A and B are shown apart, each in its own frame.
Chain A
Amino acid sequence: MTVATDLDTKVELTDERKPRSRLAAIGRFARRNPLGAAGAVVIIVMVVVAVFADFIAPYNPVVNAFDRMHEPPSLENWLGTDQYGRDVFSRVVYGSRTALLVGFASSFVGATFGLVLGVASAYFGGKIDLIFQRILDVFMAFPLIIMALAVIAIFGTGAQNVIIAITIPFIPRCARVVRSSALAIRELPYIDAARANGFSHSRIILRHMVPNVMAPFLIMITAFVGQAILLEASLSYLGLGVQEPTPAWGLMLQGGAEEYAESAPWIAVFPGIAISLAVFGFSLFGDALRDELDPRLRSQ
């Protein structure tokens, strides 16, 4: 539609929205959620550090250097050295890889399984839903760490098994949240229409329901990453996670860090700060994302 004015100008009226600049969207997000933006910055820094660890870390994190044992922070070793003479800064840098690998892998896999199971449970309803929810109740009756410990006891230690151990308890938690959203969607007319058109169950679930529960799914993922990092650190601290000499923050807190807590506190302090920052960052970002994606919270 074109409107002519006296000034001989033409104004184009269109139903199409102007494409929003991503940068502007990020700016708006940062203005509305400054804490969330701070969390996002922490996450980005962590990802960059993890990806470019080979270039950022000044030393190989697993190489022993007994001539530099227990060195305090200095220009040569920014965060000092541990009982094997290994550079703490380099281990913290490489430790971010372990944290992110375990965090993202277990969160994505756990949340994705939870998503599919939660939506399917809501979609089928009836006895299937009832039985499935009771099974989830059993899993959810155990605290995360207990469940993870049980899984580690079965599969053993190591990075892969830690991912499995953290993934399993995430599945029911995500499934429960996603199901509640999917229950509402199931009743919407377009799902009925899809059924009436004879679409298969998998098509209805994957093409029509799953995309509409992405908001809680994404929120769960961000929340899970922080939890997974903390859980990985806890398991490693207990000696049940990744093992020496793999650089991992939780592992850096045990053994020598405890033994030398008084005489060489930097061995424990810096990985501790790294864990706190990472978990804090993901928590802030997760909260902000929830606020952003949940229309009720956004209107407030």
Chain B
Amino acid sequence: MNPSKYLRAVSIVAVGAAVALGFSGVPAQAAPKQGGILNFVVPDEPPSWDGHRETTFALIHPFAPFYSLLIKANPDNPSSPTDFVCDLCTEMPTPTDEGKTYTFKIKQGVKFHDGTPLTAHDIVASFRKIIFPPEGTTSARLAYFVMVESVSAADDHTVVFKLKYPSGAFIPALATPYNFIYSKAKLEKDFRWYETNVMGSGPFKFVTREAGAYVRGERNKDFHVAGQPYLDGFEAIFSNKQAVQVQAIRGDRAAIQFRGFPPKSTEDLVNALGKDITVQESDWNCVLLFTPNHKKKPFDDVRVRRALTLAVDRWGGSKSLSRIAIVKAVGGVAFPGHPLAATKAELEQLPGYWPDINKSRAEAKRLLQEAGVPELKFVLWNRAVDQPYTIVGTWLIDQWRQIGVTVEQKMEPTGPFYARLRSAEFDVTVDFNCQSVVNPLLDIGKFLSEDIGNESYGAYVDRDLDKIFDTMNRTPDEAEQRELMRQFEKRVLDEQAHSFVTLWWNRIVPHRSYVKGWKISPSHYLNQDLANVWLDK
């Protein structure tokens, strides 16, 4: 037997065993131990420190431990799209007024890290910033709260949300881990103060940040959950090189990288560390897109945009790329496997998903010819993060090459990359839609018109699309929701060809086995406050 094949087989078995161990959870859960510093790697740095503005894990991983939320995904069951627990509230409310009013009672005695009390007014100020941002400021999750009419404080410890219509999407939207609760006083002093400062009420207090190197936090002894956090502190180490991240875990410089690794790196770690590594795996509510700029020629022509998606062999790409990148599932706009997601048969009706890729590419060439750009050339802007951006971007270029399109790829660090997206200075960009709680009704807000969806970067306005979204979110009937979702999907991916899904991500997190209390979820944003993480050393 070829030794390399033998090794491969052993590796597969080892990874399988490790994954099985991860899935089986912690056998006979031991009592959490206090103390220790958790070192973890973060593959990128955030453009700013304001959770309400940003959409990247690079912000959540190092900064979520400094903040409390009103409600959050249950840290013991983070994979559930419906299991939410209070963080700052005392109990999950039952809606009144025919599902249009939610009243939250707030914990008393909660303090910000500067010692000032946290009250309902701070929560109201924070959600007003998210839901009704003043002109000139950015709220990335504006579209999540289209159903909200008002948010107010009935007294110091009661927050009331009034909705325009009952919506099952409201509670998941509230549990979004970016909804950091800020100090009203700080916001009044400077509405953008949190873009460059930290002051929350979370389980850890901000200690220091060294640009390009790390963020450090220490235990908040006055945390509002008794006994937590268990750790004395943490150090989030920035490193965008995957090889460095893997070596950091291998050398025990870091215990975990919460975002995830591709199969090969996981296999290497398992082979090297054996039982000292635990692997947790999950589907991932995250997808890479590519988005043409509708305001730039020739991408203002729907035929050109459709040609781009027709060239991409998603079915073949899934098989190949899943071996080297953190992507796997073929899907439409909704999280694959969700009841609202398209079936394979439905997907195969959409351009770019046809089973016959040759026919698809022939049609792409025809469309380019018809649009007068048979030898199209453009720049693909991409984020300078190995996984999966560089790999998928390079793969896309090869796909387009096969219809005669010449593409140059330009990579930028996260900050400049976001700035470019927001200013729409690109031909075509690799884009992404990563969400936290699996909630396709809101997750697809990414595709709305640019003036509604703040994360929509294609520079288009499509009121018919917005209308479908609105109708879908107002109807309680699941069958109707599904039908509307198909209409929405067809309009985005086919008729108007606004933005295109490549492949959905697959999350594999190998970590040092001494890291306990952390459970994987379908989002690398969820369950990251580290309050319940402890070290079994």
Contact = CB atoms under 8 A, between A and B. Distances in A.
B395 A84 contact: yes
What DSSP secondary structure best describes chain B's contact surface? helix
B394 interface: yes
Contacts of B264: 259-260, 263
Contacts, number: 69
Nearest to A245: B394
What DSSP secondary structure best describes chain A's contact surface? loop
B320 interface: yes
Contact of B411 (A69, A84, A239, A260): A239
Interface residues of A, number: 24
Contacts of B240: 239
Interface of B: 4, 240-244, 246, 262, 264-265, 268, 316, 319-321, 323-324, 384, 386, 390-391, 393-395, 397-398, 401, 408-412
A64 B398 contact: yes
B412 A156 contact: yes
Contacts of B384: 239
Given A244-B394, A263-B264, A157 B412 contact: yes
A255 B388 CA distance: 11
A64 B395 contact: yes
Contacts of A63: 398, 401
Contact of B324 (A83, A157, A254): A83
A244 B320 contact: no
A72 B319 CA distance: 21
B14 to A, nearest CB: 14
A72 B238 CA distance: 33
A259 B410 contact: no
Contacts of A255: 242, 386, 390-391
Given A157-B411, A244-B409, A255-B390, A69 B398 contact: no
Contacts of B316: 66
Among A243, A256, A262, A263: residue with most chain B CB under 10 A: A243
Contact of B393 (A72, A156, A158, A244): A244
B394 to A, nearest CB: 4
Interface string A148-191: 00000000111000000000000000000000000000000000
Contacts of B390: 244, 255
A48 interface: no
Given A255-B386, A258-B243, A263-B268, A245 B411 contact: no
B410 A158 contact: yes
Interface string A244-265: 1100000000111011111100
Contacts of B319: 66
B189 to A, nearest CB: 32
A47 B358 CA distance: 39
Given A69-B323, A83-B391, A245-B398, 4 more contacts: A63-B398, A245-B397, A255-B390, A255-B391
Among B246, B324, B401, B412: residue with most chain A CB under 10 A: B324
6 contacts: A63-B398, A64-B395, A69-B323, A72-B4, A243-B408, A244-B394
Among A63, A244, A258, A262: residue with most chain B CB under 10 A: A244
B265 A259 contact: yes
